[in-house]
Structures are given as C-alpha cells and as structure tokens.
C-alpha cells in the first residue's frame, strides 16, 4: 500500500461495512479503507442464495448475493479502497488517532493510521462447545451456517439424513435447502417453548416440507464412532433439564447446530471495549461510538439483527456520525440514558441525545400476547403500540421524532394496561 494514512478504517466488508463506507463517502470523507479477511466483499450475504432481502432498503425482493452486489457497486463507484484476504489483529491508540494492525495475505504485516475505526465484523454461530451436548465426538456435526457455505458456495452436501438443533433462521433455511437437495430432514429440535426464527421461515421452510418441529426438547446425547449415527431427543423440564425417561432416538448422519448467534467480539475485547452483558456486543452512545474514543460499531457486531435492511440503515447512520466526528463537529446535544424495563431483554443505543430524533432497537424476553410496548420519560409517554402477539425473534424498532430537551432519561417497557 502506497499510503498507510486514512481518515477511517472499516473492519468488515459485509453489509454493515459496505453501508458505512458509502455513507462516509457521501458525507465528504475521502480516505476510507474497507478491510475483510475473506477473498470477496459481501460477507454472509454471498452464501444466502434465497430471496427475501432488500424489501425495505430497495423496495424489491433480492437474493443475498444480489443485495451485496448493490452495495459493492456503490462502493466501487465511490472509489473506496477494499483490502481483502486481510485480518485485523489489533487496534491501538496513536496520538490523537488510531493505529490498526493487520496481516495481509498479499502484503504481510501492515500498520494503518487513521482518525476513526468502525467495527463491522458481524456475528458468528455458537457451536457444540457453547452448549455442551453429551456423547461421542464423531464427524458429521456442523453449524448451520457452515453447512450453508458448503452447499451454496462449494456445492458439497454434508449428509443425507439430517437433524437440526435450534430453530434459528439459518437452521430453518437450511432445513429447506437440504430438503431441496434431496436430503431427509428428520426434525428440528428447539429447547425453548417458542421458535427462534421468523414465522415466515417456520411456514416456508418447515411446514411446507412437512418437517417436524419439537418445541421444549433438546438433544441429550450424540451417538456414533467415526461418524454420527443417531441422536437422543428429550423433553426439557424447566427449560433446561432433559427428561431422559421420555426420550426417543432419531437416526441421522448429520447434525446441524442453529443454536444462536453472538457478535464477533474478540477484537473488541482486545481493544478494551466494554461489552453489553445481554447482546455481547459493544456498549455504544447515541453516535454508536463505543467506550473507546474514536471506535464505532454497527450491524451484527453491535447486536444481532433480524434482516439485513436494518443492518444497512443502522450502518449508514453510523457512517454519518463517524464523518461528523472526523470533521470535529462537536454539535452534540446532552445525552441521557436509555433504560430497559420489564419483559425486555435489551434496548439500543444505551444513550440518546435530547432535542433530536432517535431510533431504538429492542427485543422481548419471551413471546407475549395482548400487551403494549411503550417508551416514556420521567414525565410523559413518547410511544405506545398495542400488540396482539410479540416475539423475541422479531426485533422491534421505534423511531422517536424527538427526545424531549428536558428529559433526564427514557425507558422502554411492556405493559398490559392502557
């Protein structure tokens, strides 16, 4: 690289990084560098060949690669530099700015100086080690996302008789994908009392293919020598303890794990960034800046989103705020905390500016019926909406026209009253 000095380095060239880069360029920031460890930009979208993307952002239904291509084209048209096959290993403070240290397959060890850093590394899947399933350790156990990459990118079928643990969206989509490729999906097993994925995926990926869904069940044992041969499925007591007296077995040669996503937080931890105990992503202020000055976060590295359209929207906002920071725009209003009330697991961002609009993202702890989702200050209600049903799998987004200038805090909460 001829010039190792940039205004901004964006780590991750998936949907979040691409959208943030375009927004920065539109905001007048010229020296932007996108870095990604993969050999092509687009992130997880490249392996998501099903449709359903872009309805909010582009007002048309796209596949994952088509959605990624829209933003890659915008990045190229803007002349934004992308460094692929490169892995960031550290972020350090350097004078008034930051130094990003990375390993590039083509150029070796690089040290890049910049004024701000955007974390856009996305999220990763939990694996067998995260959930500690007893039994032997044979081949044939994969995360659903890795299986998706094997089938859709490399054209390799991981197995013929499949059981899926967890009803997250990737697992549901892979149930359909494996069925279409000729595999027999024996069942989807879910430990919770409710599905973890979107309702449309339950219908289109399970019900349309007559695939059984066992709620309040888990896999209590894995059997097999060189390769998995069967799993023991048990109902759960108190949502955690398997009742093996009522267990049954399913023969299979493949087990796909769709047991949750967590932000890619290893680099954030190494940089000394404070993480949220619930989302496992960075704690951010109204500008999406983390606890480390000059380091921002957006997309699934901040919190796991339902759909990519919201990732793009949030990341474009992040790019705009990073541009303001680089330009030294200190027109920041007073910030107040955002509190998360009963029956909600989290609300982001954790702080908002008074006298300005704000968009809140939040999730419930459990499925609820006939409730009201509300936002209030210590004096007045800012938002109320009745829900006949509301699910943890669907992230709620609340756009506030303006946070009152005299507010000391705002709170999100669920109520059954008027």
Here the tokens at position 166 are 């967890």
Mean pLDDT for all residues in the chain: 93
**pLDDT at 239 (0 to 100):** 67
Work out the average pLDDT over 268-276.
95
Here the tokens at position 238 are 């108190």
Common-topology check for domains 127-259 and 336-415: no
384, pLDDT greater than 60 = yes
pLDDT digits (tens, 9 = 90+) for 224-236: 999 999 999 999 9
Domain ranges (residues) in the chain = 5-124+262-332, 127-259, 336-415
Q: Is the dihedral of CA 24, 262, 293, 401 positive or negative?
A: positive
Q: How far apart are CA 158 and CA 151, in angstroms?
A: 8
Q: How far apart are CA 168 and CA 165, in angstroms?
A: 9
Taking phi over 0 as left and psi of -120 to 50 as alpha, with beta for the rest, 27 belongs to alpha
**Beta-bridge mates of residue 351:** 337
pLDDT digits (tens, 9 = 90+) for 365-378: 989 999 999 999 99
CATH architecture of the domain with range 336-415: Sandwich (2.60)
417, pLDDT greater than 80 = no
- Tell which residue, 340, 343, 403, has the closest CA to residue 370: 343
**Beta-bridge mates of residue 252:** none
For residue 380, give the 3-state DSSP assignment: coil
CATH architecture of the domain with range 127-259: 3-Layer(bba) Sandwich (3.50)
For the chain, the straight-line distance linking the first and the last C-alpha, in angstroms and rounded, comes to 61
pTM of the model: 0.91
Q: Which helix (H) or strand (E) holds 11?
A: strand 5-11
Distant-in-sequence, close-in-space partners of 234: CB < 8 Å, separation ≥ 6: 217, 218, 219, 220, 242, 243, 244, 246, 247
The larger pLDDT score, comparing residue 168 to residue 229, is at: 229
**Beta-bridge mates of residue 86:** 104
418, pLDDT greater than 70 = no
Distant-in-sequence, close-in-space partners of 19: CB < 8 Å, separation ≥ 6: 71, 298, 299, 311, 312, 313, 315, 316, 319
3-state secondary structure 37-57: CCCCCCHHHHHCCCEEECCCC
Domain boundaries 5-124+262-332, corresponding CATH code = 3.50.50.60
Work out the average pLDDT over 256-266.
93
- Tell which residue, 37, 63, 21, has the closest CA to residue 308: 63
**pLDDT at 3 (0 to 100):** 61
Here the tokens at position 395 are 């992230």
Contact indicator for 300, 22 with CB cutoff of 8 Å: no
Here the tokens at position 315 are 């990341």
Residue 208 is given by DSSP the state: G
């Amino acid at each position: 690289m001829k010039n190792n000095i940039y205004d901004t380095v964006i780590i991750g060239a998936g949907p979040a990084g691409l959208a943030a880069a375009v927004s920065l360029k539109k905001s007048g920031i010229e020296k932007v560098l996108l870095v990604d460890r993969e050999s092509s930009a687009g992130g997880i979208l490249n392996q998501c060949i099903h449709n359903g993307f872009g309805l909010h952002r582009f007002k048309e239904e796209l596949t994952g690669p088509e959605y990624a291509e829209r933003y890659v084209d915008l990045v190229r048209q803007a002349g934004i530099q992308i460094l692929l096959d490169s892995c960031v290993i550290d972020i350090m403070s350097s004078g008034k700015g930051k130094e990003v240290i990375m390993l590039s397959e083509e150029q070796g060890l690089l040290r890049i100086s910049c004024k701000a850093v955007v974390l856009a590394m996305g999220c990763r899947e939990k694996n067998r080690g995260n959930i500690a399933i007893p039994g032997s350790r044979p081949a044939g156990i994969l995360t659903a996302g890795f299986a998706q990459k094997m089938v859709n990118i490399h054209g390799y079928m991981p197995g013929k008789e499949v059981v899926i643990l967890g009803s997250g969206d990737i697992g549901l989509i892979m149930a359909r994908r494996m069925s279409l490729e000729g595999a027999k999906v024996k069942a989807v097993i879910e430990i919770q009392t409710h599905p973890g994925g979107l309702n449309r995926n339950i219908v289109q990926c399970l019900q349309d293919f007559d695939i059984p869904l066992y709620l309040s069940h888990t896999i209590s044992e894995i059997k097999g020598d060189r390769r998995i041969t069967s799993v023991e499925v048990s109902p759960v007591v108190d949502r955690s303890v398997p009742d093996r007296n009522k267990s049954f077995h399913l023969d299979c040669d493949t087990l796909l794990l769709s047991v949750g996503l967590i932000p890619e937080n290893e680099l954030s931890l190494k940089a000394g960034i404070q993480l949220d105990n619930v989302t496992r992503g960075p704690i951010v202020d109204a500008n999406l800046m983390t606890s480390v000055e000059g380091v921002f976060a957006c997309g699934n590295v901040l919190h796991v989103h339902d759909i990519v359209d919201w990732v793009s929207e949030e990341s474009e906002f992040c790019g705009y705020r990073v541009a303001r920071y680089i330009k030294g725009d200190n027109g920041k209003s007073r910030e107040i905390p955002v509190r998360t009330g009963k029956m909600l697991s989290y609300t982001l961002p954790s702080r908002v500016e008074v006298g300005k609009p704000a968009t809140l993202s939040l999730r419930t702890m459990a499925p609820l019926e006939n409730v009201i989702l509300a936002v209030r200050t210590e004096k007045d209600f800012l938002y109320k909406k009745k829900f006949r049903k509301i699910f943890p799998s669907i992230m709620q987004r609340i756009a506030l026209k303006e946070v009152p200038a005299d507010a000391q805090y705002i709170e999100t909460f669920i109520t059954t009253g008027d």
